[in-house]
Amino acid sequence: MRSMNNRSALGNLHDGKVISAFSLRSCQNMSLFYSDTKNSLSNRKNFLQSLGIDYRDLVCAKQVHSGNIRYAQESDLGRGAKSYESSVPDTDAFITDKKNVPLAIFTADCLSIFLFDPKIPAIGLVHAGWRSAKEQIVSRTLDLMQEEFSSRPQDLYAGFGPAIRSCCYEVGREFEDFFPGAVIEKEKKYYLDLVNLSKKQLLDSGVSEDGIFDPQICTSCLNMDFFSFRREGKDCGRIMSVAMLK
């Protein structure tokens, strides 16, 4: 933990080469689109100052629950930092090998996935709801890191941010067809294990189990600490997950 207002996303795996963190509910709303946004810029500034990141440099996306990934570069600095309209459109994951390019995604039950290749070095940051998981977004992000940076999955570290877990993520029975083996049936109800689904996709892509860090935080169970779409509705605030190469 870096401070009372944010949590490390890759544990002690980053070796000082990357900043990776997610905000808490106490940091307040980080979104410029959802909920009450009048203080969102100051919330971002306060949160990122503790990490040594200028909030005006953020690279943000108009997240659409897709499988679309963008290679972020210096020319993208500031996109979505001060206005939602300037965000990178139709994107749910970023990769970069550029230093001092802070990547950000915003969640309230969906899973953020942090990727770090210490050998290149390079990073990825993924927004994974069930639709993006169905599109194999984390596997596709790894593929793009291999294509652009020659990253090897076995060299990568991966960290999960807070997300709704299988204890609370009730879904329809049709999800058994979407995600065989990832749906749990309890008392005639069905629950999706989004985190383990994403973990399996990482493992199948060649990431080592020892390189995967899971803080085991359920945003629904810990709604006092995190925003939860399922508990609060679509107008709830959003936390920020952020990653940057140093």
- pLDDT tens across 119-157, in order? 999 999 999 999 999 999 999 999 999 999 999 999 999
Q: Does 102 fall in a domain?
A: yes
Q: Work out the mean pLDDT of the chain and round it to a whole number.
A: 94
The closest of 51, 99, 98, 106 to 81, measured between CA atoms, is 106
Position 192 in a domain: no
Q: Which segments of the chain are extended strands (E)?
A: 6-8, 18-23, 69-71, 93-96, 103-107, 111-117, 122-128, 157-160, 170-171, 183-186, 189-192, 212-213, 239-245
Domain residues for 62?
6-164+213-245
Q: How many domains does the chain have?
A: 1
Q: Residue 42 and residue 29: Cα distance in Å, rounded?
A: 10
Which pTM was predicted? 0.95
pLDDT at position 131: 97
In a domain, 1, yes or no: no
Q: Could you tell me if residue 150 is left (phi over 0), alpha (psi between -120 and 50 degrees) or otherwise beta?
A: left
Quick check: is 196 in a domain?
no
Task: Quickly state the pLDDT bin for 8 (edges 50, 70, 90).
Answer: low
The tokens of 66 are what? 């897709």
Does some domain include residue 191? no
> Is 197 within a domain?
no
pLDDT of residue 7: 60
What is the CATH number for 233? 3.60.140.10
Percent of the chain with pLDDT over 90: 91
- Residue 115 inside a domain? The answer is yes
pLDDT of 133 reads 97
Does 202 reside within a domain?
no
